[in-house]
């Protein structure tokens, strides 16, 4: 079997087209949606990601603002920026790019964001709203992107056993919250695995939908995949590769080639979930 490739690039373009229409309607009604992104420090991956978000905003017709603080910025300085954005009527939503430098508490910063503007959905108020099935809650971008990928690819989730490998607050846990709800793209039986799970390969093999978000290059091998399963690779890992000019390449948490020979559908890395997240 050769797996169907779930193409994040095409699906993301489709979403952006839909979004641009909604934004145009709002602008016609006198409101231009505004999104701000706050980035602290010089992490190259975060910088690229933040720049892509800003560009996508402008292309969709939205007002975009990027606030860059140096890595030496204090927590008080960052909280002052959060307070300003909370109060700014031209900004309807904003996010603080993670990870933050070690000397800043992400927990305190996330708690300070007005839940009504918390587009990343990381404030405990929005985490709770998502878990009780409130459809108006902000949903974290990466798992929501995965769910959209399943829905827009016409893949049935109802009744499926979804196994999620990874229990982070950013991906694994909200992914479970989304897939278990009684909504389109939900109604799964959900199992979450993590670094302490016993006999993980046996659990993974039970999955109709396998979502992997652990940050370990090519961790998932074909023996962990049920033939025909849908495999969603969230991982983004840089591995050394002297055969290419830049000296590295990006791989996911799934051994793509061998797993694609077993799976029914699979995402690319890059070009898969990452596109949906932006
Ligand atoms: P994290 O480091 O916060 O969490 C990793 C999780 O993996 C932990 O819950 C841990 O228990 C689990 N884990 C680690 N080793 C394991 C093992 N051997 N077996 C089972 N579970 C194990 O990571 P995160 O923020 O959720 O990110 C995970 C990966 O997804 C990273 O590669 C990250 O770069 C990527 N990511 C991609 C996107 C995107 O847009 N595509 C967004 C966020 C994160």
Mean pLDDT, residues 224-234: 98
What number is the average pLDDT over the span 101-120? 97
Q: Tell me the pLDDT band of 252, cut-offs 50, 70 and 90.
A: very high
* Mutational test site, ligand 1, from 201, 215, 219, max ligand atoms within 8 Å of CB: 215
Ligand 1 atom nearest to CA at 145: 40
In this prediction, residue 8 has a pLDDT band, given cuts at 50, 70 and 90, of very high
pLDDT surpassing 90 at residue 166: yes
Q: How far apart, in whole angstroms, are the C-alpha atoms of residue 61 and residue 24?
A: 7
pLDDT confidence bin for 43, thresholds 50/70/90: confident
Q: What is the pLDDT of residue 120?
A: 97
Question: Is residue 134 annotated as part of the catalytic site, yes or no?
Answer: no
- Which pair of structure tokens corresponds to residue 187? 């109604």
User: 236: CA distance to ligand 1 center in Å?
Assistant: 9
CA 22 to chain centre: 22
What pLDDT is attached to residue 169? Answer: 96
For residue 33 the two structure tokens come to 């949606």
pLDDT at position 44 is: 82
Which of the four pLDDT bands, split at 50, 70 and 90, describes residue 230?
Answer: very high
Does residue 152 register a pLDDT over 80? yes
Measured CA to CA, the distance from residue 20 to residue 230 in angstroms comes to 30
Task: Return d(Cα 20, Cα 26) in angstroms, integer.
Answer: 10
Residue 97 annotated among the catalytic residues of the structure: yes
- Residue having the nearest C-alpha atom to atom 36 of ligand 1: 235
Strand partners, 154: none
181 included as an active-site residue: no
Ligand 1, atom 39, lies closest to the CA of: 274
pLDDT for 48: 84
Give Cα 171 to chain centroid, integer Å. Answer: 6
Cα 253 to ligand 1 centroid, rounded to whole Å: 9
Structure letter (DSSP) for residue 97 = P
Q: Name every protein residue with a CB atom under 6 angstroms from any ligand 1 atom.
A: 142, 165-168, 170-172, 193-195, 200, 213-216, 234-237, 273-274, 277
Q: Which of 118, 120, 208, 253 is catalytic?
A: 120
159-163, 209-213, 274-278: which has the minimum mean pLDDT?
274-278
In which element (H, E) is residue 143 found?
Answer: helix 141-152
Q: Which residue has the tokens 């980035």?
A: 39
Rounded mean pLDDT, 230-244: 96
**What is the average pLDDT across 199-209?**
98
pLDDT at 1 over 80: no
Q: How far apart are CA 67 and CA 54, in angstroms?
A: 11
Alpha carbons 52 and 109: distance in angstroms, whole number = 23
194 CA → ligand 1 middle, Å: 9
- 26 CA from centroid of ligand 1 (Å): 36
Q: What is the mean pLDDT of the chain?
A: 96
Percent of the chain exceeding pLDDT 70 equals 100
Hey, which of 43, 195, 198, 233 would you mutate to test ligand 1's pocket, going by the most ligand atoms within 8 Å of its Cβ? 195
**What's the mean pLDDT in 121-126?**
97
- Name every residue whose Cβ is closer than 8 Å to that of residue 118 and which is 6 or more positions away in sequence: 93, 95, 110, 125, 126, 138
- Of all protein residues, the one whose alpha carbon is nearest to atom 16 of ligand 1 is 195
Rounded to the nearest 5 percent, the helix, strand and coil shares of the chain are: 40, 20, 40
Q: State yes or no: pLDDT of 47 exceeds 90.
A: no
Give the closest residue (by CA) to ligand 1 atom 42.
Answer: 142
CA of 252, closest atom in ligand 1: 32
227: pLDDT strictly greater than 80: yes
Residue among 177, 179, 120 nearest 151 (CA): 179
**Angle of the 172-180 helix axis to the 124-131 helix axis, nearest 10:** 30
Question: Is the pLDDT confidence value at 160 over 80?
Answer: yes
Structure tokens at 102: 């070690």
């Amino acid at each position: 079997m050769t797996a169907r490739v779930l193409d994040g690039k095409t699906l993301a373009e489709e979403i952006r087209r839909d979004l641009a229409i909604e934004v145009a309607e709002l602008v016609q009604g006198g409101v231009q949606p505004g999104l701000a992104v706050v980035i602290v420090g010089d992490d190259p991956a975060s910088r690229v990601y933040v720049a892509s978000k800003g560009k996508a905003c402008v292309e969709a017709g939205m007002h975009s603002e990027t606030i860059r603080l140096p890595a030496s910025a204090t927590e008080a300085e960052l909280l002052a920026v959060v307070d300003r954005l909370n109060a700014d009527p031209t900004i309807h939503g904003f996010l603080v790019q993670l990870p933050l430098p070690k000397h800043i508490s992400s927990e305190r910063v996330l708690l300070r964001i007005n839940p009504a503007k918390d587009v990343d959905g990381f404030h405990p108020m929005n985490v709770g709203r998502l878990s009780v099935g409130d459809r108006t809650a902000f949903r974290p971008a990466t798992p929501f992107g995965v769910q959209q990928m399943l829905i827009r690819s016409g893949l049935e989730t109802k009744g499926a056993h979804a196994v999620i490998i990874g229990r982070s607050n950013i991906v694994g846990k909200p992914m479970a919250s989304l897939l278990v709800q009684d909504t389109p793209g939900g109604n799964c039986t959900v199992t979450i695995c993590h670094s302490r799970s016993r006999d993980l390969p046996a659990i993974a093999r039970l999955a109709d939908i396998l979502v992997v978000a652990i940050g370990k290059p090519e961790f998932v091998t074909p023996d962990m995949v049920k033939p025909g399963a849908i495999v969603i690779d969230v991982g983004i890992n840089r591995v050394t590769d002297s055969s290419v000019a830049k000296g590295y390449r990006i791989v996911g948490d799934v051994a793509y080639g061998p797993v694609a020979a077993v799976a029914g559908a699979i995402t690319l890395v890059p070009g898969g979930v990452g596109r949906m997240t932006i």
